[in-house]
C-alpha cells in the first residue's frame, strides 16, 4: 500500500512533466505513422501494378520486421547523430512495414470482376483506384495502421536511447538508477503512460475506421 501511495505522490509531483512527455510521445508516433501510411499506400499501390511487386513487398515487410529496433537505432545514431531525426526515421521504417503488407493484401483481395466492370463503365486507372480499390481495401489497410500504431508506441520508448522525445526517457532514467530513489516509480510511470497512450490512439483509429466507410463503392 505504501508503494502505491508513493507512486501516486511521485506522479502528482511530476504531473506537468509527464503530461508534456506524453504529448511529445504521442506527437512523435502520430506524425511518423502518418508519413509511414502515406509512403506505404503509394508504394503498395505501385507494387500491385507489376507482376513481381506484391511478392517483393511482402518479402521486404517480413524481413524488415526481423531487424532489431535497438540495433537499427544504434546504427542510425552513428550515421545521423542523436536527437529527433533518428527517432523519426526508425519509427517511419517500422511503421511502414505492416501497413505496406496490408495495402498489398487489401488491394489484391478486391474482386477483379469489379475492377473490370469499373473499367467497362469508362473509369480510368486512377479513378478505379480511388473510388473502388482503395475504398474496398480500406478496412484491411486500417488494420495495418492500427498494428503499426501499437508497435510504434513501444519503439518510440526505445528512441530515448538516441535522446528522442517522449516517455522513454523516464524508463531509461529509472533503469539507470535501479536501486535508487524513485527508480521503480520512474519506470512504472513511463510504462503506464505509454500503455495509456496506446489505448487512446487505438480507440481513435478504430473510430476513424468506422467513420470512413467505403462511400464511393455504391456509386461505381
Condensed to tens digits (0 to 9), the pLDDT of residues 124-183 reads 888 888 888 999 999 999 999 999 999 999 999 998 888 888 999 889 888 888 877 788
Residue 44 confidence (pLDDT) above 80: yes
At 178 the pLDDT is 82
Set of cell numbers at residue 166: 517522449
User: Is the pTM for the entire model greater than 0.85?
Assistant: yes
- Count, residues in the chain: 220
Give the Cα separation of 140 and 202 in Å (integer).
15
- Using CB atoms within 10 A of its CB, is residue 39 exposed (0-12), middle (13-18) or buried (19+)? middle
At 214 the pLDDT is 55
At 213 the pLDDT is 60
| Mean pLDDT rounded to a whole number for the chain | 89
In this predicted model, which residue has the larger pLDDT, 117 or 21? 21
At 10 the pLDDT is 87
At 142 the pLDDT is 95
In this predicted model, which residue has the larger pLDDT, 64 or 114? 64
Residue 50: phi and psi, rounded to 5, are -125, 155
Residue 219 confidence (pLDDT) above 70: no
At 203 the pLDDT is 96
In this predicted model, which residue has the larger pLDDT, 30 or 128? 30
Residue 11 confidence (pLDDT) above 70: yes
Residue 43 confidence (pLDDT) above 90: yes
- What count of other Cβ atoms lies within 10 Å of the Cβ of residue 191? 17
Tell me which H or E stretch contains 171: helix 168-176
Q: pLDDT band for 61, please (50, 70, 90 cuts).
A: very high
Mean pLDDT across 184-201: 95
At 216 the pLDDT is 47
Amino acid at each position: 500500500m505504501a508503494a502505491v501511495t508513493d507512486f501516486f505522490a511521485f506522479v502528482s509531483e511530476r504531473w506537468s512533466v509527464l503530461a508534456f512527455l506524453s504529448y511529445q510521445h504521442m506527437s512523435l508516433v502520430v506524425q511518423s505513422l502518418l508519413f509511414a501510411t502515406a509512403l506505404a499506400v503509394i508504394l503498395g499501390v505501385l507494387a500491385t501494378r507489376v507482376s513481381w511487386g506484391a511478392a517483393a513487398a511482402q518479402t521486404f515487410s517480413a524481413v524488415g520486421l526481423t531487424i532489431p529496433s535497438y540495433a537499427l537505432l544504434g546504427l542510425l545514431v552513428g550515421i545521423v547523430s542523436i536527437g529527433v531525426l533518428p527517432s523519426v526515421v526508425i519509427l517511419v521504417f517500422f511503421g511502414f512495414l505492416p501497413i505496406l503488407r496490408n495495402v498489398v493484401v487489401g488491394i489484391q483481395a478486391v474482386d477483379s470482376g469489379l475492377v473490370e466492370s469499373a473499367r467497362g463503365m469508362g473509369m480510368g486507372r486512377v479513378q478505379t483506384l480511388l473510388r473502388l480499390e482503395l475504398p474496398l481495401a480500406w478496412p484491411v489497410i486500417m488494420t495495418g495502421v492500427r498494428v503499426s500504431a501499437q508497435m510504434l508506441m513501444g519503439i518510440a520508448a526505445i528512441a530515448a536511447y538516441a535522446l528522442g522525445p517522449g516517455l522513454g526517457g523516464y524508463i531509461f532514467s529509472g533503469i539507470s538508477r535501479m536501486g535508487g530513489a524513485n527508480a521503480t516509480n520512474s519506470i512504472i510511470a513511463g510504462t503506464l503512460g505509454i500503455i495509456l497512450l496506446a489505448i487512446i490512439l487505438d480507440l481513435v483509429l478504430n473510430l476513424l475506421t468506422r467513420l470512413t466507410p467505403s462511400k464511393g463503392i455504391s456509386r461505381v
